A and B are shown apart, each in its own frame.
Chain A
Amino acid sequence: MNTIKELKKSFLIALWFMFLTFPIMVIKVNTVEQTIDWRWNRLAMVGIFSFFASWIWRYLLQRKEMGQKRAEESETPTLTFQQRVLQNPKFTRPALVVICIFAAIFPFYFSMYQVNIMTTALIYVILGLGLNIVVGLAGLLDLGYVAFYAVGAYSYALLNVHFGMGFWACLPIGAGLAMLFGIVLGFPVLRLRGDYLAIVTLGFGEIIRLILENWNEFSFGPSGIANIPRPGFFGIKMSIHQSLIYIYFIMVAMVIFTIFVVRRLQDSRIGRAWIALREDEVACQATGIDKTKTKLSAFALGATWAGMGGVVFAAKTTFINPASFTIWESIMILCIVVLGGMGSIVGVIFGAGILILLPEYLRAFSEYRMLMFAAALVLMMVFRPHGIISAVRRTYQFEGSPEKKASS
């Protein structure tokens, strides 16, 4: 009886989706040759797919509800298997050693192409960790994050073109400028509520990009800046191959540095203030936390990392133009944070790995990349809002409760 009902439901949903996708999926008109291409096989595909997808969808929703009920019933928060593994030093220490050794020997055993991709992934790890401070810890949705990335990249490129400054001098300057931008933007907008903030930051990101595109005298317009030098090492001349490996190691060092800083920040006074702010703004203010200062520090720190990432990006590609800094880049970084797990360092690294490396190795599906990311965003929000690897909350347990002993 139940199965028949489910079958009927799925069948109706499949019919609905076939109706929904009919004009855009099936009909393709060629206005030049005056022909209509009826692609009926697609309709069948949509029908079959949505039939099974709706079944799975309902099953997962049910499971999620049951999981929530169970979590409410049990008094102590239970850790999932994956969280327990990640917290167990017996597992994490050897894993860390393996990862370090792998990272150290990676460029000598793999081709240039692989090293290049890995460096890109590491840049995104830094960006993801930076955005994680803003979105994951402080709960401020920033859709214009790429603007700070652009500030970093352009500050290196422009300082180099006009004053001939090198990579190492520009790295702190780029980071500092991005931080300054973060503060200048953050000051007026941080009073806004969450969703307004998202739109304003989105607008800000677009403003930066459009200015870079239109202000030819300043930024060389849409054609961008070429021949940006790669980082130097005490004036030693390096081949392209060597300097790519060099950049790779710079990135590894930066990632380690970032992880270190973010970890320390998370458990510091300010980190806890961020988390408190994310959970409940009013209650957080009531405990005496300065809302503006806390938000601003999150914003500025996030921007700093974007700026550093930007400087390395400019040095790595040796060419930048405004097209690298569109809103989709911001959304991509947001995807890394959301899919990986908001607030979780391992999660963000994992997310960057999946989102940057997977498409590189699955070139065949490159057309469908954005479609899949988009679907993943929605599915993730519906079924696993904390991401693939969710952050572990610090909890304190009061063990010696007399009532508890009596009841158990």
Chain B
Amino acid sequence: MDYFLELFLGGLTRGSIYALIALGYTMVYGIIELINFAHGEIYMIGAFTALIVISVLTMLGWNQLAILAIATLAAIVWSSAYGFTAEKVAYKPLRGAPRLSPLISAIGVSLFLQNYVLLAQTSDFLPFPNLIPDFKFLEPYEGIVRSTEIVIYVVTAAVLVILTVLIKFTKLGKAMRATAQDRDMAMLVGVNVDRVISFTFIVGSATAALGGVLIASHIGQINFYIGFIAGIKAFVAAVLGGIGSMPGAVLGSLVLGWTESFFTGYISSDYEDVFAFLFLVLILIFRPSGILGRANTDKV
């Protein structure tokens, strides 16, 4: 039973991590129907920025919590900046182009950012210090759940709530929904579509950055390549939940996290990634609209 609980919580952590990345995917896809391949790289850049800030401030001897707060903030700011810039440079000129063009462009951005970090920083794995303090009230549960994991659960839940409120109840959220439904019509009723799309990229990137800091703290090391696999898996999760739907992204992430965790725990750990991909193929074949998604009909 203990083993089961361990796998369950491990799956929950994995799932929450995927969710933080999948939310950005789903928001961008919902609004411009683009698989933003570079999203994983945005997350990686968030983690790198945080690591750099942490290292500098640690040498200056700052307080641990202050460092954590500033590093997270820096990660969010720079990740959003990268997301914003990538959209302006590589996707915006391609509006109205055939569907394949922005996708190929996104692959280019992804490859570019990976190699950029590789050349500007390093190809080695870098240790990432865990600055989240140990909570007193968790002491009786030591060995089952770490305080980092608790923080990950809470942050994921909070982000989901904040984003839902943002989209459902604010004026900007309304504009986002309108743009997602019909871009031309939204323009006609006075929505600044360019700004809405930029904003979507910024919010998605900020969420990914938050994920980057938390995951790096949890796993304890980063390199330039972490974004790729994480991005693919988050995409699997987003599709599983129904791409374009935010609760769907979280649900899909949790389902993927648990299945992976139980699969590796009970069957085999060699084929973990094979399993994730196989899962994706099966979902897309049997239920392409995902758990919470609506079936999409082609517009003619």
Contacts and interface: CB of A to CB of B under 8 A. Distances in A.
Given A23-B49, A199-B232, A385-B101, 19 more contacts: A23-B78, A29-B52, A31-B127, A36-B56, A143-B107, A192-B285, A194-B103, A195-B103, A198-B103, A200-B280, A202-B232, A203-B232, A203-B236, A203-B281, A211-B274, A367-B119, A370-B111, A374-B111, A378-B112
A204 interface: yes
B53 interface: yes
A42 B285 CA distance: 48
Q: Looking at chain B, what size class is its interface with the partner chain?
A: 35 or more
A24 B45 contact: yes
Q: Looking at chain A, what size class is its interface with the partner chain?
A: 35 or more
Interface centre among B82, B104, B126, B236 (most CB of A within 10 A): B104
Interface in B93-138: 93-94, 97-105, 107-112, 114-117, 119-121, 126-127
B300 to A, nearest CB: 5
Contact of B56 (A29, A189, A282, A338): A29
Interface in A111-157: 135, 139, 141, 143
Interface of B: 33-35, 45, 48-49, 52-53, 55-56, 59, 74, 78, 81-82, 85, 89-90, 93-94, 97-105, 107-112, 114-117, 119-121, 126-127, 232, 235-236, 239, 270-271, 273-274, 277-278, 280-281, 284-285, 288, 298, 300
A368 interface: yes
Contacts, number: 157
Contacts of B107: 143, 331, 334, 377
Interface string A25-52: 1011101001010000010000000000
Contacts of B232: 199, 202-203
B45 A194 contact: no
Given A23-B53, A377-B105, A195 B277 contact: no
Interface of A: 16-17, 19-21, 23-25, 27-29, 31, 34, 36, 42, 61, 135, 139, 141, 143, 188-189, 191-192, 194-196, 198-200, 202-204, 206-207, 210-211, 214, 281-282, 331, 334, 338, 367-368, 370-371, 373-378, 381-382, 385
A16 B84 CA distance: 11
A338 B90 CA distance: 16
B102 to A, nearest CB: 7
Given A29-B56, A206-B273, A195 B119 contact: no
Nearest to B280: A203
A20 B82 contact: yes
A371 B102 contact: no
A368 B270 contact: no
Nearest to B279: A203
